[in-house]
Structure 1
Amino acid sequence: MVLKQTKTFAELVKFEHSIFALPFAYTGSFLAAGGFPGFWKFAWITIAMVGARSAAMGFNRLIDRVIDAKNPRTADRHLPRGLISPRQVLIFSLAGFGALGMAIWQLSPRHMIYLPLLVFILICYSYTKRFTPYCHLVLGLAIAFAPLGGWIAVRQQSSLAALLLSATVGSWVAGFDIIYAIQDIDFDRSYGVHSIPADYGINAALWWSRGLHSLSVLFLVMIYKLLPLGFLYLVGIIMAAGLLCYEHLLISPRDFSRINVAFFNVNGLISMIVFVFTLLDLLS
């Protein structure tokens, strides 16, 4: 029974999608430490990330359950099908925020003052598509806290490099979220849900995404100039840039059949490449 419930909640929040943000949180902590930040910091950073993401996704599913039930693409999710109750999702999400708070307390108690702001941003994203097409940027902002948090966990303060890494993540996430929203363009327009594809059209959305992804590569290059990083980090940047180009080649205004490949496979690989090559560079 416990294993079944665990599997249900993991499916509810798409636990496998942690691969998008978690490696960047590790990247922030490793860059701040100039190597491995230590087992306990690494463990608490992991707990903070898993807790924050689980809570944010849980609230997203809870807040959007009525919309999800009417959208053919999402009608099969757990809440619309009644496989799990709203009360269970609420308790699960609050537990996630509890884990985030506990991790922040262990890593940097004086930064607990920012916990309410983090919770607010992680929750409010789900409401933004009801009134603005720039909801993708809010999602990017929410996930951009991952590398910044990883850095602060080690250094106890921010820096220009940490902010640039956060900007990298924010623009990268917003860019691929715009692509992902293309598949709901007809439903969003009919139901009054806002997104850049629904409000401005597919061509404009793709240009928005290209611009944001170009910025993410630029920010990575700026980090290379700012920190004592070498050849391997640069190789990682080049590979990530190549994958972003490939992602945009997969999608055209006339063919969206490979959106899931672009969204899941390519972006998951990008975050891992940046982390692995940063780590290799720091250890070389």
Structure 2
Amino acid sequence: MTTHRLEGQHIGGRGRLVDYSNLVKLPHTVFAMPFALVGATLASYRYAVSGWDVLLILAAFTCARFAAMGFNRIADRAIDAKNPRTAMREIPAGKLSVREATAAVIIASALFFVCAALLNPLCLYLAPFALAIILAYSYTKRFTRYAHLVLGFSLAIAPVGAYLAVAGEWSRPPSALLVLAAGVLCWVAGFDILYSLQDMEFDRGEKLHSIPAALGARGALAFSRGLHLLSAAAFVALGFILPELDVGYFIGTGVIALMLAYEQSLVRSDDFSKIDAAFFNINGAISVLFFAIVLTERLLA
């Protein structure tokens, strides 16, 4: 059983643009950005959405994600340097200095607030709370095994924030955003547990907290599968809450449930060799597919 593997989704090449892109794992944007667009699309049933709104939502999301990932790399630089899987990340490897990464995080955070202000007063009011949550995640594995759930909550902010950016108010019915956020939270936490299996022994040695470190591979897999079952149920439930979503939505979410089951089948307690495919390929496809389903329903309405 392999416990340490080099990170995937690394952009090749040289130069500052490549270094900053790898610092924040730019390819991983595919996980949450489509869900931000889902939030905006669902809001469009009742509120007008302009191209400017969409650009600001995408810019705000990109800046917030850059700030969160950059801050995570700064906070974890000493830990990353000890872990064979992460030792070649940009700060431990000396490709970017802490000062350079910090400056980038500050700039991204400032731009996030600018975008929030340009969207509406509610977004500006909530922006500090959203940023605080996604930055605080970086420290959670130092004291709780449930850091995966905090990460899920951080990404669940994306569709909620995008909906509020368009609507300027909570969804009607109120349960719609809650159920959507719950689905995203459980989905992200479930696949993050799978990814964390690679660091199970390292986390134990460094006294870091995670579900795999606490429960072992078998327990972690059971926990992850339970979360993905809840995620699929939440996505289906959203179709019953919003009358705008039709049969096509339920067919699509059924496909997503099968994709989650396939993802889980790729990882076994004694074989982590397919974690990269389960983590990036399938989850990236799930996120894009979910947005495509919701957008198609909207265009056909």
The TM-score range, normalised by the shorter chain, is over 0.9
Structure 1 position 176, deviation (Å):
0.5
Counterpart in the other structure of 1:197: 212
Counterpart in the other structure of 1:259: 275
Rounded Cα–Cα distance in structure 2 between residues aligned with 1:194 and 1:110: 35
Rounded Cα–Cα distance in structure 2 between residues aligned with 1:219 and 1:186: 33
Rounded Cα–Cα distance in structure 2 between residues aligned with 1:55 and 1:40: 22
Matched, 1:10 2:21: yes
Higher share of residues assigned helix: 1
Structure 1 residues 141-150 or 26-35, which shifts more? Answer: 26-35
Letter in structure 1 aligned against 2:261? C
Query: SS in structure 2 opposite 1:133?
Result: coil
Matched, 1:148 2:148: no
Rounded Cα–Cα distance in structure 1 between residues aligned with 2:113 and 2:245: 32
Rounded Cα–Cα distance in structure 1 between residues aligned with 2:94 and 2:29: 25
> Structure 2: which 5+ residue stretches go unaligned?
1-13
2:133 to 95, 100, 121: 121
Query: SS in structure 2 opposite 1:79?
Result: coil
Counterpart in the other structure of 1:164: 179
Structure 1 position 221, deviation (Å):
1.2
Q: Spell out, residue by residue over 1:42-80, the C-alpha distance to the aligned partner (whole angstroms, 9 max, x if none).
A: 100100110010000000000000000000000011100
TM-score, with length taken from structure 1: 0.96
Rounded Cα–Cα distance in structure 2 between residues aligned with 1:27 and 1:124: 25
Query: SS in structure 1 opposite 2:15?
Result: helix
CA contact (8 A) 1:237 1:274 kept: yes
Counterpart in the other structure of 1:85: 97
Aligned residues: 282
Counterpart in the other structure of 1:68: 80
Rounded Cα–Cα distance in structure 1 between residues aligned with 2:207 and 2:59: 37
2:150 to 138, 146, 157: 138
2:290 to 271, 274, 278: 274
CA contact (8 A) 1:65 1:80 kept: yes
Structure 1 position 260, deviation (Å):
0.4
Counterpart in the other structure of 1:216: 231
1:39 to 19, 42, 51: 51
Runs of 4 or more above 6 Å deviation = none
Structure 1 residues 217-226 or 243-252, which shifts more? Answer: 217-226
Rounded Cα–Cα distance in structure 2 between residues aligned with 1:256 and 1:136: 18
Rounded Cα–Cα distance in structure 1 between residues aligned with 2:25 and 2:225: 26
CA contact (8 A) 2:193 2:220 kept: yes
Counting aligned pairs with the same residue, the percent is 44
CA contact (8 A) 1:232 1:278 kept: no
CA contact (8 A) 1:235 1:277 kept: no
Structure 1 position 84, deviation (Å):
0.6
Matched, 1:246 2:245: no
Counterpart in the other structure of 2:10: none
CA contact (8 A) 2:23 2:89 kept: yes
Letter in structure 1 aligned against 2:44? A
Structure 1 position 177, deviation (Å):
0.4
Counterpart in the other structure of 2:188: 173
CA contact (8 A) 2:77 2:91 kept: yes
Structure 1 position 9, deviation (Å):
0.4
> Structure 1: which 5+ residue stretches go unaligned?
none
Counterpart in the other structure of 2:11: none
The two structures, once aligned, show a CA RMSD in angstroms of 1.3
Structure 1 position 4, deviation (Å):
2.3
Q: Spell out, residue by residue over 1:170-193, the C-alpha distance to the aligned partner (whole angstroms, 9 max, x if none).
A: 111011001100000111111111
Structure 1 position 157, deviation (Å):
1.1
Rounded Cα–Cα distance in structure 1 between residues aligned with 2:258 and 2:45: 26
Rounded Cα–Cα distance in structure 2 between residues aligned with 1:175 and 1:150: 23
Counterpart in the other structure of 2:41: 30
Letter in structure 2 aligned against 1:20? F
